[in-house]
Each structure stands twice: as C-alpha cells, then as structure tokens.
Amino acid sequence: MRFLSAQGLCFAVNDSRANPFPSTYNVEQFETEFPTASLHLGKWNTELIAKAEVILISPGIDCANQNITQHISDDCRVMGDIELFCQLNKTLKKPIDILAITGSNGKSTVVSLLAFLAESLGVNAKLGGNIGQPVLDVFINENLAFPSIETKNLPDLLILELSSFQLETLKSMQAIATSVLNVSDDHLDRHLSMANYQKIKQSIYSQGKLAVTNRDDMATQTPNQSQTTLSFGSDAPNDSQFGIRKYKNKAYLAFGKQNLIALEQLPLAGMHNALNYLTVLALGYSVWLVNRHNG
C-alpha cells in the first residue's frame, strides 16, 4: 500500500475481517496515511473483485479460495507484491540483481548469512520477501514513470526469502540464482499434497539462471535437467560441488578438492547449519559465475 500511495495511484483495500488493524491503529489513521485508497472491511466485496483489473493478493490468502476466485474476471491480473516488484524491476535501465531462496526450514538463517556476507564484501544488498523490508518499499522514492532514468538509491542486490505462498503468484522473477534448501511436510492444508507442495517449491528454479540444489534431498532437484546447477550436501564434494569432507579426524566445509574451514571453527554449530553455510557459499559463488559469464 505504501508503494501504491507513493506513486499517487488510486486503489481499493478489501479484508474479510471486520477489524484487521492492531490496537494502536484505526480506520481514521489508515485514511490519513492512504488518502488515495478506499477501504472495504468485514467481507469479500464481490462487486469490487469482479471489477478489478489487477488484484494484489496477500500470501496468506489462498488463491484457490472460491469466495474470491469465482468473482475474478478473465482479464484481471492476479499477483503478489513480489511479482509486481519483479515486473517493475525488469523495466529499469539497470535491474536489481536477485538471489532467491525457498525451503521448508532454514530460509531465514541462509538469507541473513548472505546479507552479512554481502555487507562484509561492501555490496549494497537488501533483504526482502518473508524477511526484511517489503520489496516494493525499495521503489518508494523512485519515479517509475521514467524507468530508463538512472536510479541512484536502489540496492545492487536483493536477497529474497520466499514462502510457498509467495511462489504461487510469482512468474516473472529473473534471479541470478535460486535455491530450494529442503522440502518436508508443511502447509499441506493449503497445498493438499506433497507432490503439489514440491512442485510449487521447484517453480523457483525456472525463474533463475542458475539452480543451487541439495544433494541430500531429491525433492530439491531442478525439473529442468539442462539448467546450470551447483549442488551442496553433507557428503564429500566432487569437482565444482560444495560438501563436507573428513580430514585428519576433522570435518571441513569443502569445495571440490579444497577444504575451506573446519566445522568446529564455525559460529553456528550442527550439521543443519553446516548445510546452511554451504548454501550461502554456493549462492555467493553463483553470483561470480554468472557475472563472469556475462563479463
């Protein structure tokens, strides 16, 4: 809403709850903050939905909800905020580079480590998606009516943590690299089956140049066998793989034949965190690979 308001756009907000606001906020404050918005509470406004040309749907709302979908016109574009961001990003003279991560567990740890690594290397990076700032806030101070103009305040890299709910409405992302960390039973009340849940998670791969997969979890593999892939796992790595190798009674993070650092020296302990570190290394390496290729 902040982005739409900053662009001077008129829009409607519909929430089926009678009072969706926290105790410190009310309708009057909403109307003051968003003067170009109309607010509709207490039920799904079917007339409003039917007339909509674009619907920005919250990830928490099931796209298959019949109370909503049966009223959406065939010409209406339904998307989430991540999808809108990606469509706008493509119009920029210099689009923001994206790394995108999903998985049932460990997403927040991985993206936070990536952000720390980027900062340490002097890269202007932002966290977004399920963590950090709402992605459209990146554009609030930019005049997107003239996307060919050089932008001065945008980050060089956006690190996205994406849930399966967000992936349901995401089609236009063009990331440097994407990764599915792992897949386990989650949100099956909405996704109905593990096969469907896995398919939604794997849909992230078609929206990136390079796929980073987990050798320990076959459900993380990319469906496109021709896609350039980097892998990580708890076994000893082959050439151009990340993994864990035993050497002189110690376990090391390793890349190919090179041992990088002993697990006992890492701040975050445990095999799950060792895999998180390997994912971060693989994603960081993927940026170098893609940039070298584009060179």
- Reported as a single tens digit per residue, the pLDDT across 78-135 is 999 999 999 999 999 899 999 999 998 889 999 999 999 999 999 999 999 988 889 9
Cβ pair 223, 196 in contact under 8 A:
no
- Reported as a single tens digit per residue, the pLDDT across 172-225 is 999 999 999 998 866 666 767 888 888 999 999 999 999 999 999 999 999 998
Longest dimension (CA), the chain: 70
Residue 251 in 3-state DSSP? strand
Of residues 77, 86, 159, 91, the one with CA closest to residue 124? 159
**Rounded-to-integer distance, Cα 5 and Cα 50, Å:** 22
pLDDT at 291: 79
pLDDT at 67: 82
SS3 content of the chain, % helix, strand, coil (to 5): 35, 25, 45
Of residues 231, 185, 227, the one with CA closest to residue 206? 227
Number of neighbours of residue 266 by Cβ within 10 angstroms: 14
Amino acid identity, position 221: Q
pLDDT higher than threshold 70 for residue 49: yes
Strand duo 258-262 + 250-255: pairing = antiparallel
**Rounded-to-integer distance, Cα 77 and Cα 53, Å:** 6
pLDDT at 153: 79
Sign of the Cα torsion 172, 177, 228, 219 reads negative
Residue 155 in 3-state DSSP? coil
**Rounded-to-integer distance, Cα 247 and Cα 258, Å:** 11
First CA to last CA across the chain, in angstroms? 38
- Geometric angle at alpha carbon 257, from 251 and 109, rounded to 5°: 50
**Rounded-to-integer distance, Cα 215 and Cα 257, Å:** 17
**Rounded-to-integer distance, Cα 284 and Cα 176, Å:** 10
pLDDT at 146: 53
Residue ranges and CATH numbers for the domains of the chain are 2-80 (3.40.50.720), 83-294 (3.40.1190.10)
pLDDT band of 145, cuts 50, 70, 90: low
Count of residues for the chain? 295
209 exposure class (CB count in 10 Å sphere: 0-12, 13-18, 19+): middle
β-bridge mates for residue 125, sequence order:
157
Share of the chain above pLDDT 90, in %: 75
Q: Which helix (H) or strand (E) holds 114?
A: helix 107-120
